């Protein structure tokens, strides 16, 4: 399971507003969640609200009124805290939580352990109190209501060791494994968590983490460090990436071996919806900065791909001497996933060609931007005897000195841009796209990034409905896998694009490179991630009713 659904099977309403909304306000924002509960589902609510079933008007769901405060008092009495109810009032949520755990028949010991983990040190006693409150909620449910819930949750035994991880952690660990020793950042949601993760481990891994004055500085400080010979990275979100455009150009033009930039997209433009997700920056990543310079852009679709793509990014940056951008998003950044522990045994570091002092001594002349048969000029690291070079954001000759010579300009442009071709040839096809499902299908879904989960999860339901689907996930945006995409899409019966943006940016990119157009688009740009049922409904709408563009907006 790699996605969420929009309906609710069990609603735990802590207050009246959760059920009925805030329609009494001058500017109401919602009309409550009682409508969203699926038939056969349940609602736990505060018995003190004294609601009649007809008030809730959902005869098709089970109602579980629980006197939150009364149950809490029972718990507090046991420890002699019952005179301090107002102080512990907030713990009614733990009571409700305990009640919900009883309903799904989950192992209470696991719950108790999880609660205690949240209260360490001086707060440990409070943890114990919360466990007690949850237990009372749990027991109340068990003795008050029949065990009639259709939804149970039991642990699944697993042979392999698994971990609970989100992308900011996966990326951070990948950076450490890749030998990154230099990270810069300017605080921004949702990217900062990754830099903080690295800063928390900087002592053990001897990694410099610098909080810079802005993202202009962040990208350039990392570029300076990369030129000086370390693996350097920065992480940001859209507004910060906008500021980095100038620096990326300098990195590309001076053939810096980095930096690696992790872009956690959020809903733009401008400040947009700063804590919400979007896939709106794809075309910007590919074009950020004036003029033309090479860059590699990878788009992992889940936490596992975030890990391996980040690792690869450093190899590409050094081997092909250009900035590498890993495009993730807010949804990936902060969504926890349970996955097997990453296998790091096969990971290989590739630093490209670096000349040592003795390599340099064997040469009569060192030219940092030499035209070589291999297409990438070997670099020297500042501080190395015999390796002195110059570099500049002006057009330059093989020594890195400024020249406006026409012939040189053409050769240098070709040298830089050709490296993308080299990268395309060197990188295995299996990394560039993923293709899921049968070769022949009624529908080929096309997507990228974090829509991978909901797309994969919707394919089965669509099959049940008689719509046979396969799925092309594009992972490399630059160099663009034109040949592979053409192979998969040219014979597809119907192509349906799923993207978290307004204009269908990947669709445009595919058309630009291959001439292939999409039959339908399913788009979403309200800042919320795609759910499994939205992909399902969107594809159905596109196929059964021939709709060209379906806009999803579930919140």
Partner 1 sequence: MPELNDYRTKVHNDWCPGCGDFGILNAVQMALLELKLKPHQVAIFSGIGCSGKTPHFVSTYGFHTLHGRVLPIATGAKLANTALTVVAVGGDGDAYGIGAGHFVNTGRRNLDFTYVVHDNGVYGLTKGQASPTLSKGLRTKSMAAPAIVEGINPLATAISAGYTFVARSYALDVRHLKETLKAAILHQGSALVDVLQTCPTYNDINTKEWYAGADLETKAPRLYKLEETGYDGSVRDPADAHEVNEKKGQAIIRSFEWGEKIPIGVFYRIQKPTFEDMLAIRMPAYKETPLVKQDPFHRDVTQLLESLA
Residues at the contact surface with partner 1, assessed by CB under 8 A = 161-165, 169, 173, 176-177, 179-182, 184, 201-203, 205-208, 210, 212-214, 216-218, 220-232, 246-247, 250, 254, 341-342, 344, 349, 351, 381-394, 400-402
Cβ nearer to partner 1, comparing 43 with 221: 221
Instruction: Name the minimum Å distance from CB 525 to partner 1.
Output: 32
Instruction: Name the minimum Å distance from CB 534 to partner 1.
Output: 29
Cβ nearer to partner 1, comparing 227 with 524: 227
CA distance linking residue 527 with residue 27, whole number of Å: 21
Instruction: Name the minimum Å distance from CB 422 to partner 1.
Output: 23
Instruction: Name the minimum Å distance from CB 247 to partner 1.
Output: 7
Q: 92-103 and 68-78 are packed helices; what angle lies between their axes, rounded to 10 degrees?
A: 100
In terms of phi and psi (left: phi > 0; alpha: psi -120 to 50; beta: otherwise), the region of 454 is: alpha
* Contact between residue 219 and residue 234 where contact means Cβ atoms under 8 Å apart: yes
Cβ nearer to partner 1, comparing 111 with 222: 222
CA distance linking residue 397 with residue 413, whole number of Å: 11
- What is the CA angle 105-109-115, rounded to 5? 105
Cβ nearer to partner 1, comparing 220 with 420: 220
Instruction: Name the minimum Å distance from CB 310 to partner 1.
Output: 12
* Contact between residue 377 and residue 367 where contact means Cβ atoms under 8 Å apart: yes
Instruction: Name the minimum Å distance from CB 538 to partner 1.
Output: 34
CA distance linking residue 434 with residue 472, whole number of Å: 6
Instruction: Name the minimum Å distance from CB 246 to partner 1.
Output: 6
Cβ nearer to partner 1, comparing 75 with 165: 165
Cα radius of gyration (the chain): 28
* Contact between residue 422 and residue 376 where contact means Cβ atoms under 8 Å apart: yes
CA distance linking residue 125 with residue 36, whole number of Å: 37
Cβ nearer to partner 1, comparing 140 with 342: 342
Instruction: Name the minimum Å distance from CB 210 to partner 1.
Output: 7
The token duo for 205 is: 């891994």
* Contact between residue 531 and residue 4 where contact means Cβ atoms under 8 Å apart: yes
Cβ nearer to partner 1, comparing 254 with 514: 254
Cβ nearer to partner 1, comparing 349 with 417: 349
Cβ nearer to partner 1, comparing 165 with 191: 165
Whole-Å CA distances, 465 to 403, 444, 468: 64, 15, 8
Q: Of 99, 95, 92, which Cα lies nearest the Cα of 142?
A: 99
Cβ nearer to partner 1, comparing 25 with 290: 290
* Contact between residue 454 and residue 530 where contact means Cβ atoms under 8 Å apart: yes
3-class DSSP state for residue 242?
helix
Cβ nearer to partner 1, comparing 86 with 206: 206
* Non-local CB neighbours of 494 within 8 Å, separated by 6+ positions: 442, 443, 444, 519, 520, 542, 543
Instruction: Name the minimum Å distance from CB 463 to partner 1.
Output: 34
* Contact between residue 475 and residue 431 where contact means Cβ atoms under 8 Å apart: yes
Could you tell me how many residues make up the chain?
Answer: 555
Instruction: Name the minimum Å distance from CB 402 to partner 1.
Output: 7
**Residues 64, 67, 72, 77, CA torsion sign:** negative
Q: Of 246, 330, 277, which Cα lies nearest the Cα of 525?
A: 277
Instruction: Name the minimum Å distance from CB 262 to partner 1.
Output: 17
The token duo for 466 is: 């008689």
Strand ranges, E, within 171-293: 180-185, 208-211, 231-236, 260-265
């Amino acid at each position: 399971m790699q996605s969420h659904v929009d309906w609710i099977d069990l609603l735990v309403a802590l207050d009246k507003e959760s059920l009925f909304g805030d329609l009494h306000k001058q500017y109401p924002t919602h009309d409550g969640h009682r409508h969203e509960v699926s038939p056969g589902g349940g609602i736990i609510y505060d018995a003190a609200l004294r609601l009649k079933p007809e008030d809730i008007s959902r005869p098709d769901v089970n109602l579980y009124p629980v006197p939150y405060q009364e149950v809490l008092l029972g718990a507090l009495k046991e420890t002699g805290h019952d005179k301090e109810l107002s102080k512990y009032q907030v713990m009614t949520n733990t009571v409700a939580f305990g009640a919900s755990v009883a309903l799904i028949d989950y192992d209470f010991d696991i719950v108790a352990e999880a609660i205690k983990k949240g209260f360490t040190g001086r707060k440990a006693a409070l943890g114990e109190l919360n466990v007690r409150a949850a237990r009372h909620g749990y027991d109340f449910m068990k003795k008050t209501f029949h065990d009639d819930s259709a939804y149970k949750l039991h642990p699944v035994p697993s042979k392999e060791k698994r971990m609970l991880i989100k992308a900011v952690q996966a990326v951070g660990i990948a950076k450490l494994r890749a030998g990154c020793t230099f990270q810069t950042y300017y605080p921004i949601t949702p990217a900062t968590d990754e830099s903080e993760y690295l800063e928390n481990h900087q002592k053990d891994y001897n990694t410099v983490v610098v909080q810079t004055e802005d993202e202009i500085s962040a990208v350039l400080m990392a570029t300076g460090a990369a030129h000086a010979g370390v693996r350097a990275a920065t992480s940001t979100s859209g507004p910060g990436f906008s500021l980095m455009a100038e620096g990326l150009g300098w990195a590309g033009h001076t053939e810096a071996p980095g930096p690696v930039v992790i872009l956690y997209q959020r809903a733009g433009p401008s400040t947009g919806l700063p804590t919400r997700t979007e896939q709106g920056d794809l075309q910007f990543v590919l074009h950020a900065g004036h003029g033309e310079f090479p860059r590699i852009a990878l788009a992992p679709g889940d936490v596992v791909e975030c890990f391996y793509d980040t690792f690869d990014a450093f190899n590409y940056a050094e081997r092909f001497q250009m900035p590498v951008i890993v495009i993730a998003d807010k949804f990936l950044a902060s969504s926890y996933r349970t996955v097997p522990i990453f296998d790091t045994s096969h990971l290989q570091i590739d630093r490209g060609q670096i000349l040592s002092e003795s390599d340099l001594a064997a040469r009569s002349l060192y030219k940092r931007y030499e035209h070589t048969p291999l297409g990438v000029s070997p670099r020297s690291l500042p501080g190395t005897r015999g390796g002195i070079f110059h570099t500049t954001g002006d057009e330059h000759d093989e020594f890195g000195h400024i020249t406006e010579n026409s012939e040189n300009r053409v050769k240098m442009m070709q040298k830089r841009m050709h490296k993308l071709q080299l990268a395309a040839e060197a990188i295995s096809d299996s990394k560039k796209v993923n293709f899921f499902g049968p070769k022949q299908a009624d529908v080929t879904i096309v997507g990228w990034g974090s829509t991978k989960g909901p797309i994969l999860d919707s394919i089965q339901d669509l099959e049940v409905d008689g719509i046979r689907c396969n799925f092309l996930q594009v992972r490399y945006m630059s160099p663009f896998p034109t040949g592979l995409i053409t192979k998969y899409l040219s014979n597809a019966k119907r192509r349906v694009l799923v993207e978290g943006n307004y204009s269908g940016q990947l669709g445009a990119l595919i058309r630009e490179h291959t001439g292939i157009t999409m039959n339908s688009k399913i788009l979403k740009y309200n800042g919320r991630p795609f759910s499994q049922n939205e992909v399902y409904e969107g594809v159905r709408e596109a196929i059964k009713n021939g709709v060209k563009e379906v806009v999803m907006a579930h919140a």
